[in-house]
Amino acid sequence: MDILSNFSERLAELMFFHDEMSSEELAKRTGIAGSSIRAWLRKETVPSYDKLIAVADFFCCSLDFLAGRCDVDERVEPRELPPFYPHLRELMETLGVSRYSVTTRSPIKDPYFTNWSHGQKPLLVTLCSLADVLGVSLDYLVGRADY
């Protein structure tokens, strides 16, 4: 199954088990447009970085669980996140992984790094690729968890 399908199904599951929450109720509680949530549930689009974090924070679940990358719903409390690109650079340095290594071992190409250095944030598919190459959880990758 692809990432969009996994995300869509997991979001529907979380909404169902959260008092059968409607897309409008989730929209109201997260500040995300109901049309965006419905498009995710119909597997039409993936959420932006900020909206993905907002949904995970609302349900206090890990990004890996929300993306369908694991089946264990570990509670992750919302917290202020570090800026994405500086955090990524620090993480790569800690792990001893070069930019070149990431670009040769994944679909992520060099211009992505330039875009991120200018404030753009990755989509879920790219986050998953980065986490795979670095061997870390999505939450650790974005700074929502310390491991």
Q: Name the CATH superfamily housing domain 84-142.
A: lambda repressor-like DNA-binding domains (1.10.260.40)
| Domain spans of the chain, in order of start | 3-66, 84-142
Q: Which amino acid is at 147?
A: Y
Question: pLDDT digit string (tens) for 21-75?
Answer: 999 999 999 999 999 999 999 999 989 999 999 999 999 999 999 999 999 988 9
Name the pLDDT band for 147 (thresholds 50, 70, 90). Answer: confident
Closest-CA residue to 41 (of 33, 49, 29): 33
Phi, psi dihedrals of residue 64, rounded to the nearest 5°: -65, -40
Q: What's the pTM value of the predicted model, to 2 decimals?
A: 0.93
Asked if the domains at 3-66 and 84-142 fall in one CATH topology, the answer is: yes
**Dihedral sign for Cα atoms in the order 20, 22, 25, 28:** positive
Name the pLDDT band for 1 (thresholds 50, 70, 90). Answer: low
Question: pLDDT digit string (tens) for 102-123?
Answer: 999 999 999 999 999 999 999 9
Record: fold of 3-66? 434 Repressor (Amino-terminal Domain) (1.10.260)
**What are all long-range contacts of 98-106, with beta carbons under 8 Å and residues at least 24 apart?**
101/133, 102/130, 102/133, 102/134, 105/133, 106/130, 106/132, 106/133
What span, in angstroms and rounded, lies between the C-alpha atoms of 12 and 135? 27
